Amino acid sequence: MQLSGGSLLALLGREAATALGSSPRPDGGQGQAASAARQYAMVIDSRKCRQRPGCTKCLDACHQAHNVPYIEDPGRKVDWIWEAPAQDVFSGQQSPYIQITLKNEPVPVLCNHCEYPPCVRVCPTGATWKRETDGIVMMDWHRCIGCKYCIVACPYGARSFNFLDPRPYIKHLNAEFPTRREGVVEKCNFCAERLAEGKLPACVEACPENAMIFGDITDFHSEISKLLRARDTIRRKPELGTQPNVFYIV
Amino acid sequence: MFMFEKALAGSRRYWIWIGVLLSVILVGFLAYVREREVGLAITGLSRDVPWGLDISQFAFCVGLGASAVVVVLPYYLHDWKAFGKITLLGEILGMVAVFMAMLFIFVCMGQPMRLLNVILYPHPRSLIFWDLLVLSGYLLLNAVITVTLVSAQREGVAPPGWIKPVILLSLPWAISIHTVTAFLFSGLAGRSYWATPLLAPRFLASAFTSGSALLILVILLLRWLRVFDVDPEAVPKLARIVTYCMLINLFFVLVEVFTAFYGRIPEHMEHFEYLFAGLNGSYNFARYMWLSVFLALASLLVLLVPGWRRNPRLLPLACAFAFVSVWLDKGLAWIVGGFTPSPLGAVTPYTPTWPEWSIVLGIWAVGILMVTVFYKIVFSVEAAANAEFVSSALPACGAAHPGKAA
Amino acid sequence: MRDRVWILAGLAVFVAVITLPAWTRLATLRQSRSPDLVLPANQKDCVLPASQMRATHMKLLLQWRDDVVRKDVHTFKAYDGKVYNMSLTSTCLSCHNKTEFCDRCHSYAGVSMPSCWDCHLDPRLAAGGAK
């Protein structure tokens, strides 16, 4: 994007309008035609997840497909999808009187690809942006300056920073996907590269219980839309106004 | 134009001081080189605490930068003649503090070589874009002001007329740098410790407190070294400013505590709980926060009693207490409090490592070195221009003799 | 001038050292070689004509990078009409061997590659399992 006086004014005007809440999708590219604008979303049925205690197939599939390093130090961990106890995932729901399953059962958590992503708002270089065509919050590791402002802004802790060179910590290198380098932030990308080939995200495909349903929620007839209409679902921290696109059946 | 040659003529004491600073800078620089080799893993940062000492120093130094307002505003807008000679000192302190703040940002970046991306791909919705803009502008403004004023004094003429509106511009600009820095934090819905509209006013109040306290300490030091002296009314007036600002600062903190604890809002309470009482067995910061409170109250005790405020031994103590109190709050615990507990309720202790401290001290040493050099230039020019203001013990400390001037 | 001898001696040493590369090569009587490139066995056509690739492959890669990452465009129509998937690893490196082609020319010309390989993988190395 070239910076000229006129384009800066136009940019500022557009940004001001966006800031006032008119459009939730700041354009990271050169302006895609929004005629086929989708919003990919996911429903995770944590009841089905609970049928298999100790199962980590979705985590393993994702981390294998994307060369995510396995780092033992919890402070330096890099996760695109991981498990956390339900009472931490759905904070604010804690009570000694509610069902025990909502307390400690592991629930998969990942980037919510929010409708109004705070991480996109704060990125100074546009290294993360919400794609107009399908609503995925993308990462561009060529542009990321490693300021970590997006990690600070994310209310869900969905992002990880590469404190170290990840290569030595990758169990099995997948040549079809690049690794990242020290100093950049990474997170789940809804398997954009697999979606481009017509495949489902790796975690969805790997789940033996079919607990994860993925699709376009703007399509009335998609499986995920039908599921959302049929079942009660909750989302993480809905009061923050981010409009997350990962729904949970608990 | 920059008169650096004036900083090259100094006493043994001056050069030993420069040597000490350069050694600290060297150690910090080597630590930074190591950080670039290994990655940010050599710091104590973690996934839950991605910003630490470096960014808190950034916020603290932007505050010091903004505090030049405290001397510039009364002199230029309200004709407080007593501040005549210290406006320049305050502006230099402010300019160097902002430069240090930018250095702190630079060392915390994971890919610093890509820094230009912020300019090549501007994103005005990001507060970092605005922060870069206003900080650079403030640096430029103050650089222009100080060079113009000092050059005019060296030539023995009055400063040019256009400098007055530029100086007046630096006043709202100084407020803006700390407001934008506060917005960096207060616009984040997910970080409830910071997401308060009171953040920008709180930042300004603590900035003015620490900045004016620092300025008093610097003036007293210069007086003690017999290098420079100011109007006898300047320090008492500044002390009153410290008092008011510290009172406002404490008021703002108490107001926040009330909303959090009377409202019993868990997201607001838990950060205060972590900082003052510890959570989940992690008590890192409790002693520093209580120390900060004690120092603030102790400094207020001295500052509120006129007799004690004027006492030449108690005043520097009170100012040092005020400065350290604000530093403990803003420069140490502030960032960590915002991150703990994490979005998933985790308490990840953060302890800065030795490389981190080396880098932080190195950048402070860069700032102190710049202040030393710039002050030396100002004093040399001042001494040459007005010999009668220089005290009689001058030969012992190496400021320029009138004969050595220009 | 007492120092004449030293000055002339110093100059002579300087000239000898500065021309070292030239006369050592002459002394070894070796021909300078162009890089020993191994061309792909099964493909004759690249996405652009060879002369254009030599001159502009870096620009092309940057264009591909922005198209794939930022615009979600994955296909590239070559000059001969063939359609390719825009991928350094699966398209370029499916024909070219990085060590026998890319690296040889780059080290001969002394042009260091940008930091692409810090992240992008050479499939032949990655297939071995370890780094």
CATH number at residue B108: 1.20.1630.10
Residue B14, token pair as written in the block: 């001056």
Q: Which of A129, A168, A181 sits opposite C118 (nearest CB)?
A: A181
Q: Is C121 exposed, middle or buried (0-12, 13-18, 19+ CB in 10 A)?
A: buried
CA distances from A50 to A156, A220, B93, B371 (A): 22, 29, 60, 62
Is pLDDT above 80 for B316? Answer: yes
Chain B residues with CB-CB distance to A147 below 8 A: 105, 108-110, 128
What pLDDT score was predicted for residue C99?
86
CATH number for the domain formed by residue range(s) A34-249: 3.30.70.20
Instruction: Please indicate, yes or no, if residue C3 is contained in any of the structural domains.
Output: no
Query: For tokens 């603290």, what's the residue?
Result: B60
Closest chain A residue to B115, measured at CA: A145
What pLDDT score was predicted for residue C127?
61
Q: Which of C58, C69, C117, C125 is the best residue to mutate to test the A interface, defined by the most A CB atoms within 10 Å of its own CB?
A: C69
What pLDDT score was predicted for residue B400?
46
Query: For tokens 């708002």, what's the residue?
Result: A121
Is pLDDT above 50 for B318? Answer: yes
Instruction: Name the minimum distance, in Å, from the CA of B350 to any CA of chain A.
Output: 10
Q: Which residues of B138-157 are buried (b: 16+ CB within 10 A; e: fewer)?
A: bbebbeebbebbbbbbbeee
Instruction: Please indicate, yes or no, if residue C65 is contained in any of the structural domains.
Output: yes
pTM recorded for the entire structure: 0.88
Tell me A92's DSSP state.
Answer: T
Chain A residues with CB-CB distance to B123 below 8 A: 123-126
List of chains touching B (3+ CB pairs within 8 A): A
Residue B283, token pair as written in the block: 């008590």
The answer to which of A97-106, A136-145, B226-235, C53-62 has the lowest mean pLDDT is: A97-106
Instruction: Please indicate, yes or no, if residue C92 is contained in any of the structural domains.
Output: yes
Is pLDDT above 70 for B405? Answer: no
Interface of C with A in 96-125 (CB under 8 A): 115, 118-123
Measure the N-to-C terminal CA separation of chain B; round to a whole number of Å: 11
pLDDT (mean) for B354-383: 94
Which helix (DSSP H) or strand (DSSP E) does residue C107 occupy? helix C103-109
Q: What SS3 state is found at A157?
A: coil
What is the extent of the structural domain holding B61? 4-404
Asked if B47 and A92 come within 8 Å (Cβ–Cβ), the reply is no
Asked if A141 and C119 come within 8 Å (Cβ–Cβ), the reply is yes
Low-confidence ranges of chain C (pLDDT < 50): 129-131
In terms of Cα–Cα distance, which of C69, C71, C107 is closest to C88?
C69
- B12-38 vs B354-385: helix crossing angle, rounded to 10: 150
What is the extent of the structural domain holding C54? 50-112+120-126
Instruction: Name the minimum distance, in Å, from the CA of A230 to any CA of chain C.
Output: 33
What pLDDT score was predicted for residue B383?
83
What pLDDT score was predicted for residue C21?
85
What pLDDT score was predicted for residue B403?
44
Q: Report how far residue B18's alpha carbon sits from residue B343's, in angstroms, rounded to the nearest whole number.
A: 45
Q: Which of C121, C127, C130 sits opposite A178 (nearest CB)?
A: C121
Question: Does any CB of chain C come closer than 8 Å to the CB of residue A87?
Answer: no
In terms of Cα–Cα distance, which of B361, B257, B350, B251 is closest to B52?
B350
pLDDT (mean) for B139-143: 95
Residue B302, token pair as written in the block: 């001295």
Instruction: Name the minimum distance, in Å, from the CA of B298 to any CA of chain A.
Output: 35
**Residue ranges per structural domain of chain A:** 34-249
Q: Which of C66, C67, C70 is the best residue to mutate to test the A interface, defined by the most A CB atoms within 10 Å of its own CB?
A: C70
Q: Report how far residue A69's alpha carbon sits from residue A172's, in angstroms, rounded to the nearest whole number.
A: 9
Q: Give tens-digit pLDDT for B37-96.
A: 999 999 999 999 999 999 999 999 999 999 999 999 999 999 998 898 899 999 999 999
A and B: number of Cβ contacts within 8 A: 157
pLDDT (mean) for A164-181: 93
List of chains touching A (3+ CB pairs within 8 A): B, C
Chain B residues with CB-CB distance to A125 below 8 A: 114, 117-118, 120-121, 123
Asked if C121 and A179 come within 8 Å (Cβ–Cβ), the reply is yes
B163 close to B148: Cβ distance less than 8 angstroms = yes
Instruction: Please indicate, yes or no, if residue C36 is contained in any of the structural domains.
Output: no
What pLDDT score was predicted for residue A33?
39
Asked if A178 and C72 come within 8 Å (Cβ–Cβ), the reply is no
Is pLDDT above 70 for B393? Answer: no
Query: For tokens 């000898």, what's the residue?
Result: C16
Instruction: Name the minimum distance, in Å, from the CA of C35 to any CA of chain A.
Output: 27
Confidence bin at A222 (pLDDT 50/70/90): very high
Chain B residues with CB-CB distance to A15 below 8 A: 124-125
pLDDT (mean) for B11-33: 95
Instruction: Please indicate, yes or no, if residue C9 is contained in any of the structural domains.
Output: no
Count of the separate structural domains present in chain C: 1
A82: left (phi over 0), alpha (psi -120 to 50) or beta: beta
